[in-house]
Amino acid sequence: MVRFHELNPAVIALWFFTVTGTAMFCSYPVICFLTLTAGVLLFLVRNGRNHLRTHLFFLILYVILTLANPLVSHNGKTVLFVMNDNPVTLEALLYGLNSATMLTGVLYMFRSFTQIMTSEKLLYITSLLSPKISLVLSMAVRYVPLFNRQGQKVSDTQKAMGLYADDNIIDDITGRMRIFSSVSTWALENGIVTADSMAARGFGTGRRTSLKRFSFTLTDTAFLIITVILASTVIVAAAQGSLEFDFYPEMSGIHPDHTGKAGLAAFLLLVLMPVFKETEALIKWKYSESKI
């Protein structure tokens, strides 16, 4: 009973980048609509009825993006009405609607991505590509909270000593410059100490080992294979021009051929895979609870 966010981080990242990349580079309306639908469903399955402000923000953004294009672009043959001597066309409105659908769907996907992919998982992915880059990133990320805490300590100390006051702009700027200088010196010294400590522990003298908390299971393999097969089907359909759609000067490509239909069906299954995985895990969990 493995949920989507419990899969191997490399598999999760590959799925997200495949779906969002397809939606951004293939502007076929059905692709954009399926991305938005799956993004909303995945977000709802993971968060329930929470994050109402997030949905409201995306709704407002969706409306603004939809209405912005016909007000700026006046291409298209079908004129709906004239505003300030500028025609508002149906094609421009539908193009704005399609673009808003794509952007909102991708934003929903990345919203779920930021919830699932923690810093530990991102460092795991970079370690697969380059262990040295992963080490540098982990050390850089570690220094962000340390830098903030040290700056707060220096600020509190200077306030206690009465070196500057918040109600005086000149004193405030001078005090913050002293804080930045002090913390920068501390960071450089701490970096030297860290380097000496790593050298004393034998870093770089032998083969590097690392702790791997994320294993690659049969579920990960199956999910990865299905993702690659479905994504390849969509890529083949797009490469053959079966998923091309033109809005200007008039809409064309509304009825895809058999290859295009196969690509759309594959993309439908692809974007709904996490929803199926999360729903399956929830159903099994509810069933297990009912057996108690």
Task: Please state the rounded mean pLDDT for residues 231-247.
Answer: 88
User: Residue 281 in 3-state DSSP?
Assistant: helix
Pull the structure tokens for residue 113: 């991505």
What angle do helix axes 258-291 and 29-47 make, rounded to 10 degrees?
Answer: 10
249 and 113 in one domain? yes
288 Cβ partners below 8 Å, 6+ apart?
none
Report pLDDT for 167: 64
218 and 82 in one domain? yes
Beta bridge partners of 84: none
Pull the structure tokens for residue 272: 């709904």
Task: Please state the rounded mean pLDDT for residues 32-55.
Answer: 89
286 and 171 in one domain? no
146 and 101 in one domain? no
Task: Please state the rounded mean pLDDT for residues 28-40.
Answer: 92
Single pTM value for the model? 0.74
Task: Please state the rounded mean pLDDT for residues 192-212.
Answer: 74
82 Cβ partners below 8 Å, 6+ apart?
88
Give the chain's end-to-end CA distance (angstroms, integer).
17
Residue 281 has pLDDT above 70, yes or no: yes
234 and 111 in one domain? yes
How does residue 271 score in pLDDT terms, banded at 50, 70 and 90? very high
45 and 103 in one domain? yes
How does residue 120 score in pLDDT terms, banded at 50, 70 and 90? confident
